[in-house]
Amino acid sequence: MSGAAWPTWLDEPLARGLAMRAHALLLHAPGALGQFDLAMALARAWLCEAPKDGRACGNCTACHLMAARSHPDFHLLLPDALRAPLGWSRNDAETADDGEGKSKAKPSREIRIDALRAAIDWSQRTSARCGAKVLVIHPAPAMNAVTANALLKTLEEPPGRLRLLLTADDPESLLPTVRSRCQRLALTPPTAAQGQAWLAGQGVAGTEVLLAAAGGQAQAALALHEEGISAAAWSEVPDAVRRGHGDALSAWPVPRVVDALHKLCHDLLTLQAGGAPRFFSAAALAPAARPALPPLAALVAWQKELLRAARHDEHPWHAPLRVEALTAQAAALWQTTRVAAPGRGGALATLPGR
Candidate ranges 56-64, 88-96, 141-149, 339-347; the one touching Zn ion (CB under 5 A):
56-64
Q: Which stretch binds Zn ion (CB under 5 A): 45-53, 160-168, 176-184, 267-275?
A: 45-53
Residue with smaller CB distance to Zn ion, 57 or 310: 57
3 state DSSP class of 183: strand
Rounded CA separation 196/320 (Å): 32
For the bound state, the minimum distance from the C-beta of residue 65 to Zn ion, rounded and expressed in Å, comes to 9
Q: How far is the CB of 77 from Zn ion (least distance, A)?
A: 23
Cβ proximity to Zn ion: between 65 and 212 the closer is: 65
301 part of the interface to Zn ion, by CB under 5 A = no
Dihedral, CA of residue 273, residue 337, residue 245 and residue 305, to nearest 10: 60
Residue nearer to Zn ion on the CB measure, 55 or 338: 55
Least gap, CB of 261 to Zn ion (angstroms)? 47
CA dihedral 270, 272, 276, 280 (to 10 degrees): 70
Closest Cα to residue 212, out of 220, 200, 204?
220
Residue 196: which of 168, 228, 167, 225 has the closest Cα? 225
- Distance CA(112)–CA(242), nearest Å, equals 43
CA distances from 46 to 111, 135, 170 (A): 24, 11, 25
Binds Zn ion by CB under 5 A, chosen from 1, 4, 18, 60? 60
Q: Is 115 in the site for Zn ion (CB under 5 A)?
A: no
Q: Would you count residue 57 as binding Zn ion (CB under 5 A)?
A: yes
Least distance to Zn ion from the beta carbon of 64, Å? 8
Can residue 48 be called a binding residue for Zn ion (CB under 5 A)?
yes
Question: Cα dist. 189→216, 264, 270 in Å?
Answer: 8, 23, 23
Check residue 18 for interaction with Zn ion (CB under 5 A). Answer: no
132/306 with CB nearer Zn ion:
132
In terms of Cα–Cα distance, which of 268, 287, 288, 289 is closest to 279?
A: 268
Minimal distance, residue 37 CB to Zn ion, in Å: 18
State the Cα–Cα distance between residues 31 and 92, nearest whole angstrom.
26
- Residue 199 within binding range of Zn ion, rule CB under 5 A: no
Minimum separation from the CB atom of position 51 to Zn ion (A): 6
Segment contacting Zn ion by CB under 5 A, of 47-55, 75-83, 159-167, 322-330: 47-55
Interface stretch with Zn ion, choices 59-67, 160-168, 171-179, 289-297 (CB under 5 A) = 59-67
63 binds Zn ion (CB under 5 A): yes
- Choose one: 22-30, 51-59, 98-106, 214-222; the region binding Zn ion (CB under 5 A): 51-59
- Asked if 320 and 231 touch (Cβ cutoff 8 Å), the reply is no
Minimum distance from residue 62 beta carbon to Zn ion (Å): 5
Q: At its nearest, how many Å lie between Zn ion and the CB of residue 57?
A: 4
Strands (E), 50-157: 74-77, 132-137
Q: Which stretch binds Zn ion (CB under 5 A): 52-60, 187-195, 227-235, 305-313?
A: 52-60
Task: Choose between 54 and 85: whose C-beta lies nearer to Zn ion.
Answer: 54
Query: d(Cα 82, Cα 97) in Å, to the nearest integer?
Result: 16
Cα distance between residue 207 and residue 196, in whole Å: 5
Q: What is the smallest separation between the CB atom of 163 and Zn ion, expressed in angstroms?
A: 16
Cα–Cα dist 193/208, whole Å: 9
3-class DSSP assignment, residue 252: coil
Residues interacting with Zn ion, by CB under 5 A? 48, 56-57, 60, 63
